[in-house]
Chain A
Amino acid sequence: MSNLIQLNNGVANIVENTWITVQLPPSNVEARKQAGKVVLFKLTGEDTVSETQIAETVIPPTGKIILPLSVFIARKSEILSRISSGEIGVWIDTHELIADLAENQADLNALPIIAVHVERFADGRIFSLGTLLRTRYGFKNELRAIGDVLRDQLFFLKRSGFDSFLIRADRSAVDALASLKDFTAPYQGAVDEPLPVFVRYNRTA
């Protein structure tokens, strides 16, 4: 059974996954650890993708695929026609920059899907990335959470602009559905409901 939850006009359903997520081959280079200054700071402790990995990534010749950001950028010329026909999506890791995607793909809405991969569920960068994709970059198509996606984070993911959630394989997506309704009327404005309670309701009554 599928483990993909999709929101459609606010209604959550378990649906078949029609997209294949393309993975990078494992790296045989030791992960670089960097710390310190401005932009490099963002990469602290994260693996960087090697050119060999990018070159050796197998891009399936047909079907709807979600490519790693690094592969999408480096090998875009190979998939131009498939982008036009709506067969290509992109996934980014939580330490990667949306700006890198936007620089290489002026119209993000030409992508039917963007996924954000979260390696550990406690990595809350995914919420800011979702928020930015929706509010800053105007991305309107499917925004999917993949990786260590668990039910207790779904409510926050939904509020941060995600509308599909690939629940970790060993957990039940059916059970996870309930958590999308944890709170009826949250206080603050966020992506799914930009108006805070003090605008939505007359609280002086």
Chain B
Amino acid sequence: MYKYDQLDQQIVNERVAQYRDQTRRFLAGELTEEEFRPLRLQNGLYIQRHAPMLRIAVPYGMLSSKQLHKLADITKKYDRDYGHFSTRQNLQLNWPKLEDVPDILAELATVEMHAIQTSGNCIRNITTDQFAGVAPDEVIDPRAMAEVMRQWSTFHPEFALLPRKFKIAVSGAKQDRAVVQMHDIGMEFYRDAENKVAIKVWVGGGLGRTPILGVVIREHLEWQHALTYCEAIIRVYNLHGRRDNAYKARIKILVKALGIEEFSKQVEAEWQHLKGMPNTIPETELARITKQFDTMPYETLPANDASFDAAVASNPAFAAWVKRCVHPHKKPGYRAITFSLKPHGKAPGDASSEQMHLVADLAEQHSFGELRVSHEQNLILADVKLSDIFGIWEKARAAGLATPNIGLLTDIICCPGGDFCSLANAKSIPIAEAIQMQFDNLDYLHDIGDIELNISGCMNACGHHHVGHIGILGVDKDGSEWYQVSIGGKQGNDASIGATIGPSFSAEEMPTVVQKLIDVYIKERTPEERFIDTVRRLGVAPFKAHVYAKNEIVETA
């Protein structure tokens, strides 16, 4: 993975000093709360319901063992011994003290980490595919470009105070696993007719209050121009995006108001001036960074491993886990594996410091000292030999990290919700836990098959509920918490936004509602169909009819 040189380290160190002074001035009363707000936000510090929340950047989801050990130590020293992995591949601390944050940042800087631009109205952490570099369907490893873009976007002076947050995702595989269409800018790298690396660019996607998929603004962009082209897009947005109403301030609203034709016309006009300027990426720079991502010392291995095959054949629990949590790899004899942070009945995405230490050790011993965080809030070892997998499984299982539910109903994507977040209308974690307990039967879960369930505690949509096959949104009705349910959302190349099935439900009703949706699917599905396929074939109506059928749901509120 990318290793800092002196210049990278200096910027992070200087940031610690800058933020330490900003915190000092705030505590001394030299900065008002309003003035301090954007400063702390651009360092990932929210003021939450119980305490501040600190969001630590995990650029494009990559971590080293050393970094994860440090994160574990930080959760023990400054927090309550656990951290929450977020849907933007970052790590959130729920209980740090505002006065401790400069010290936490100083500790992070010792392992080449920071919290820069993890919140606030600026360019956020650039996300990508958790299987980047190892996926068999990958065309271009997007991580080098993601790192080039991370550096470019870090303290970009022109875009330091945008109308609203700005999220970029990049992908280089045939199957999009980075949800590029729901980002402010989405980039897909591919090889063009001349076998050169090119970029397809989407703009104006996003979830939140007005969910909308991005539109293609450019089918073909030479990779060298990635930065200047983004500058053109973001400049038009910075100058003309709305600043009078936070709910109308995302770039998607501007793109919609102008229309994609007018918007691209303005972007093209800007870009004519920026194209070829010094921020154009030279081959040498991309090569320098690329080199750091493809030096894995793989062994030459046969495609199969007898001990692995024997374990699968003789141990049904292991076999069930392999089916869900072990993923194909471009190198023969290697696999990627996912540790589920979704054990039934626990907050999705949470990991204790002990679990983090264990995963860091396993990565050190079996996966070249590196691991990834997925936007589905799980941890991944990307380069594991087949012969090592059984031993890893035993250790992970003992630590509660081997629930075989990846991609299944209980692999719930979930924001921290009303238990922690001051923006939330409703709690999300207890809903996730209740659904997990309702479906706490592995055979049944496997029978239901591939499905994504997403929960957000408010319309800011941190849980990406719009693209969940089943999406649950917490809403506030006269001061009490209710849940709106949508079905038919999907991430990936054929992304779609879910449709609401009808009036909202109380928390107590939610497990039954999900059960009823699943019942309709089980009854109506053809042998090949996943839940999403059945929804797309039949539409919302039969699901709605069953869920709202009289006498089937006991009114509880």
Interface residues, chain A, with chain B CB atoms under 8 Å away: 33, 35-38, 41-42, 44-45, 121-125, 127-129, 131, 135-136, 150, 152-153, 155-160, 179, 182-190, 194-199, 201, 203-204
Interfacial chain B residues near A36, Cβ < 8 Å: 257
Interface residues, chain B, with chain A CB atoms under 8 Å away: 5, 7, 10-11, 14-15, 18, 22, 31, 35, 38-39, 121, 151-163, 227, 235, 238-240, 242-245, 254, 257-258, 262, 273, 277-279, 281-282, 284-285, 288
Q: Which of B239, B257, B262, B278 contacts A199 (CB 8 A)?
A: B278
A122 to B39, CA, bound (A): 10
Interfacial chain A residues near B121, Cβ < 8 Å: 122, 124
Contacting pair B278 A186 (CB below 8 A): no
Interfacial chain A residues near B243, Cβ < 8 Å: 44-45, 123, 125
Contacting pair B158 A199 (CB below 8 A): no
Contacting pair A128 B239 (CB below 8 A): yes
Contacting pair B157 A203 (CB below 8 A): no
Q: Which of B35, B153, B244, B277 contacts A189 (CB 8 A)?
A: B277
The residue of chain B having its C-beta at the shortest distance from the C-beta of A135 within the complex is: B273
Say whether, besides A122-B38, A184-B14, A156 and B278 are in contact (CB < 8 Å): no
Q: Which of A125, A153, A190 contacts B239 (CB 8 A)?
A: A125
Question: Chain B's nearest CB lies how many Å from the CB of A155?
Answer: 7
A196 to B149, CA, bound (A): 12
Contacting pair A183 B155 (CB below 8 A): yes
Say whether, besides A152-B39, A155-B157, A128 and B278 are in contact (CB < 8 Å): no
A123 to B22, CA, bound (A): 19
Contacting pair B161 A197 (CB below 8 A): no
A136 to B158, CA, bound (A): 14
Q: Which of B22, B160, B245, B282 contacts A156 (CB 8 A)?
A: B160
Interfacial chain A residues near B273, Cβ < 8 Å: 135-136
The residue of chain B having its C-beta at the shortest distance from the C-beta of A160 within the complex is: B157
Contacting pair B244 A198 (CB below 8 A): no
Contacting pair B10 A185 (CB below 8 A): yes
Question: Chain B's nearest CB lies how many Å from the CB of A96?
Answer: 11
Question: Chain B's nearest CB lies how many Å from the CB of A22?
Answer: 25
State the majority secondary structure of interface residues on B: helix
Q: Which of B154, B159, B284, B288 contacts A187 (CB 8 A)?
A: B154
The residue of chain B having its C-beta at the shortest distance from the C-beta of A172 within the complex is: B30
Interfacial chain A residues near B245, Cβ < 8 Å: 45
The 10 closest A-B pairs by CB, nearest first: A124-B161, A45-B244, A159-B157, A198-B285, A156-B157, A189-B278, A187-B151, A156-B160, A127-B158, A188-B152
Which of B5, B11, B158, B243 has its CB near the most chain A CB atoms (within 10 A)?
Answer: B158
20 A-B residue pairs with Cβ-Cβ distance under 8 Å, sorted by A, are: A36-B257, A44-B243, A124-B121, A124-B158, A127-B157, A127-B159, A127-B161, A128-B235, A135-B273, A152-B22, A152-B31, A156-B158, A159-B158, A184-B10, A184-B14, A187-B11, A187-B155, A198-B284, A198-B288, A203-B5
Question: Chain B's nearest CB lies how many Å from the CB of A190?
Answer: 5
Interfacial chain A residues near B160, Cβ < 8 Å: 124, 127, 153, 156
A38 to B261, CA, bound (A): 11
Question: Chain B's nearest CB lies how many Å from the CB of A138?
Answer: 12
Given contact pairs A127-B157, A158-B157, A183-B11, a sample of 6 additional A-B residue pairs in the complex whose CB atoms are under 8 Å apart: A124-B158, A124-B163, A127-B238, A153-B161, A159-B157, A198-B282
A175 to B319, CA, bound (A): 64
Contacting pair A203 B288 (CB below 8 A): yes
Interfacial chain A residues near B15, Cβ < 8 Å: 183
The residue of chain B having its C-beta at the shortest distance from the C-beta of A190 within the complex is: B157
Contacting pair B158 A197 (CB below 8 A): no
Contacting pair A197 B38 (CB below 8 A): no
Contacting pair A194 B277 (CB below 8 A): yes
Question: Chain A's nearest CB lies how many Å from the CB of B13?
Answer: 10
Question: Chain A's nearest CB lies how many Å from the CB of B229?
Answer: 14
Question: Chain A's nearest CB lies how many Å from the CB of B497?
Answer: 24
Interfacial chain A residues near B39, Cβ < 8 Å: 152
Contacting pair B155 A199 (CB below 8 A): no
A198 to B149, CA, bound (A): 12
A38 to B256, CA, bound (A): 11
A187 to B162, CA, bound (A): 19
Question: Chain A's nearest CB lies how many Å from the CB of B160?
Answer: 4
Interfacial chain B residues near A45, Cβ < 8 Å: 242-245
A195 to B279, CA, bound (A): 7
The residue of chain B having its C-beta at the shortest distance from the C-beta of A179 within the complex is: B18
Contacting pair B11 A38 (CB below 8 A): no
Interfacial chain B residues near A186, Cβ < 8 Å: 11, 155, 157
A160 to B35, CA, bound (A): 21
A150 to B121, CA, bound (A): 17
The residue of chain B having its C-beta at the shortest distance from the C-beta of A126 within the complex is: B161
Interfacial chain B residues near A190, Cβ < 8 Å: 156-158
Question: Chain A's nearest CB lies how many Å from the CB of B392?
Answer: 36
Interfacial chain B residues near A203, Cβ < 8 Å: 5, 7, 285, 288
A122 to B42, CA, bound (A): 12
Question: Chain A's nearest CB lies how many Å from the CB of B190?
Answer: 24
A203 to B148, CA, bound (A): 13
Say whether, besides A123-B161, A187-B11, A195 and B154 are in contact (CB < 8 Å): no
Interfacial chain A residues near B262, Cβ < 8 Å: 38
Question: Chain B's nearest CB lies how many Å from the CB of A33?
Answer: 8
Contacting pair B14 A183 (CB below 8 A): yes
Contacting pair A121 B35 (CB below 8 A): yes
A59 to B155, CA, bound (A): 40
